[in-house]
Amino acid sequence: MTDEIDDSEPQAEEREPTLSALRALAPLGSRLGEIATGLVKQGALGMLLIDATPLLAIEKLHGPRAFRSSIEALAEGVRARVESAIGEEMLLASGALEEEHLLVFMPRLRDDAEFFLHDLPRVSAELRAWASQGLKRVVYPYLNRVPELAVGAGFVLHRPFQRPEAQLRHLIDRTLEDARFEHERSRRERNGMLEKILLEQTVTTVFEPIVALATNAVLGYEALSRGPAGTGLETPMALFGTAELFDREYELDSLCRRRALSNARGIAADQLLFLNILPTCIQDPDFQAAHVCETLAELGLGPRNLVLEISERQAISNFPIFREAIDHFSGLGFRIALDDTGSGFSSLEAALELQPDFLKIDMSLVRSIEDSPEKQEVLRGLQSLSAKMGSQVIAEGIETAQELSVIRTLGIEFGQGFYLGRGGSTPSGASRALAPGRPR
């Protein structure tokens, strides 16, 4: 018996991927030659820089894979918007060490004044607006709050007596400085706009219907506050996010509650008014029992018609404070709803601790639920929990027939969203997408 000779090729030793191989985007060093060539050949180079440093919070909470997934999603969004605005002629990279810096380089002829003076600043502003509004999909499901990203623009004209690499370094430094300057300028402008809104009391209220899914009858209306058009603070997220940033939450909350109660005419005696609150409202002289009950009486309503919505995110930060507020308002006859349920990681804890009358399911769980068995299982669990607590469930953000069908199949009692009805300046002005008594 002879030994067989193995003449096959030796297997390559498996190696751990290098740090650069794991990066979501090619690092600057790997594209430096290409970028420098573009600068020398064209004579000038435009640049956009997106400082995604706030996304590092994802890495701290969920690890590098989650962080890089978010950076990839951000890069694809940036690429699509730059291509749509100025074409495909660009080079996308991340910082040499700062992977959270997205760098977009655009070689151009140095006499293209229109591009450098108008197109580049315009695209920078468009990216900044998109970053403030469209990042929810990028950070979901890792962060509950959408972070603010700094975006800057700059350009360099080629100097034949200086190394292109040195010119690129100056360009990156200047553009990062521009991004931070624009970010701070925007913050100051929003703070000034918020103070103007508070002093002039220019918030408006939109009443969005909440519908019984079995009959399509209106259970009640949620009062949603909006900032003035053209201010950048039109949406509740932008308005209250700015208030939180500048420690104006109490003042804005008080103003929005007053406006909502004063405009809530037309709610029937068997319907509910859902009103968002902060725990500090317990100290608000305008929200004391006698005053609120008097206002409700003027509307033809009583304490049981009022449902106070508490955000899950705010509730879990300090249960004792919210417990005090809930006990106080429940004693007055008001009902309690836990808002944004399912958006974070402490939904069950918040629900069990606060024992609300209503659980409002966050729209992130409703969106495209027909394609997600996992979301369906989460809703089944929340529905089962609510039944044991004696709570009722409201699914927020229903926008399609498919979402509505699945929500109904899961036994969810109530729903809210554009597919069911859009808000109006008064409850009677809210539009109905489905006729009462005729569920689709």
> What is the mean predicted confidence (pLDDT) over 27-47?
93
Question: Where is the domain boundary, 156, 191, 226?
Answer: 191
Same domain, 240 and 170: no
Q: What percent of the chain has pLDDT over 70?
A: 88
Same domain, 142 and 231: no
* pLDDT band per the 50, 70, 90 thresholds, residue 422: confident
Tell me the sheet residues that pair with 205. 225
In a domain, 9, yes or no: no
Same domain, 297 and 421: yes
Residue 188 has pLDDT above 60, yes or no: yes
Distance CA 129, CA 148 (A): 10
Distance CA 107, CA 399 (A): 43
In a domain, 10, yes or no: no
Residue 3 has pLDDT above 60, yes or no: no
> What is the mean predicted confidence (pLDDT) over 52-72?
91
CATH of the domain at 162: 3.30.70.270
Same domain, 263 and 177: no
- How much is the pTM? 0.73
Query: How open is the CA angle 254-147-203, to the nearest 5 degrees?
Result: 25
On whether the CB atoms of residues 107 and 38 are closer than 8 A, the answer is yes
Indicate the range of 86-95, 324-333, 381-390 predicted with least confidence. 324-333
Same domain, 169 and 252: no
Question: Where is the domain boundary, 149, 170, 191?
Answer: 191
Same domain, 280 and 400: yes
Which residues have CB under 8 Å from 376's CB, separation 6+? 369, 406, 410
Question: Cα dist. 429→53, 263, 264, 423 in Å?
Answer: 44, 11, 11, 7
Question: Cα dist. 253→198, 223, 306, 354 in Å?
Answer: 10, 12, 16, 21
Structure tokens at 334: 């008001």
Structure tokens at 386: 């609510």
Residue 434 has pLDDT above 70, yes or no: no
Same domain, 164 and 207: no
Distance CA 333, CA 302 (A): 9
Within 201-248, residue ranges assigned H as helices are 236-245
* pLDDT band per the 50, 70, 90 thresholds, residue 400: very high
Same domain, 99 and 214: no
pLDDT in tens, 193-233: 999 999 999 999 999 999 999 999 999 999 999 999 988 88
What local confidence, expressed as pLDDT, does residue 178 receive?
Answer: 95
In a domain, 13, yes or no: no
CATH of the domain at 218: 3.20.20.450
* pLDDT band per the 50, 70, 90 thresholds, residue 342: confident
What local confidence, expressed as pLDDT, does residue 13 receive?
Answer: 46
- Please tell me whether residue 87 adopts helix, strand or coil conformation: coil
What local confidence, expressed as pLDDT, does residue 17 receive?
Answer: 42
Same domain, 179 and 254: no
Residue 420 has pLDDT above 60, yes or no: yes
Question: Where is the domain boundary, 191, 209, 225?
Answer: 191
On whether the CB atoms of residues 414 and 393 are closer than 8 A, the answer is yes
* pLDDT band per the 50, 70, 90 thresholds, residue 319: low
What local confidence, expressed as pLDDT, does residue 166 receive?
Answer: 94
Angle between the N-to-C axes of helices 236-245 and 249-263, in degrees from 0 to 180, rounded to the nearest 10? 150
In a domain, 438, yes or no: no
Same domain, 140 and 237: no
- For CA atoms 196, 253, 288, 428, the dihedral sign is positive
* pLDDT band per the 50, 70, 90 thresholds, residue 20: very low
What local confidence, expressed as pLDDT, does residue 57 receive?
Answer: 92
Same domain, 122 and 207: no
Structure tokens at 422: 């859009």
What local confidence, expressed as pLDDT, does residue 317 receive?
Answer: 58
In a domain, 148, yes or no: yes
In a domain, 11, yes or no: no
What local confidence, expressed as pLDDT, does residue 197 receive?
Answer: 96
Domain of residue 64, residue span:
19-191
Same domain, 86 and 136: yes
In a domain, 239, yes or no: yes
What local confidence, expressed as pLDDT, does residue 285 receive?
Answer: 80
> What is the mean predicted confidence (pLDDT) over 137-150?
81
pLDDT in tens, 237-278: 889 888 988 999 999 999 999 999 988 988 999 999 999 988
DSSP 283-345: G-GGGSHHHHHHHHHHTT--GGGEEEEEEHHHHTT-HHHHHHHHHHHHHTT-EEEEEEETSSS
Number of domains in the chain: 2
In a domain, 206, yes or no: yes
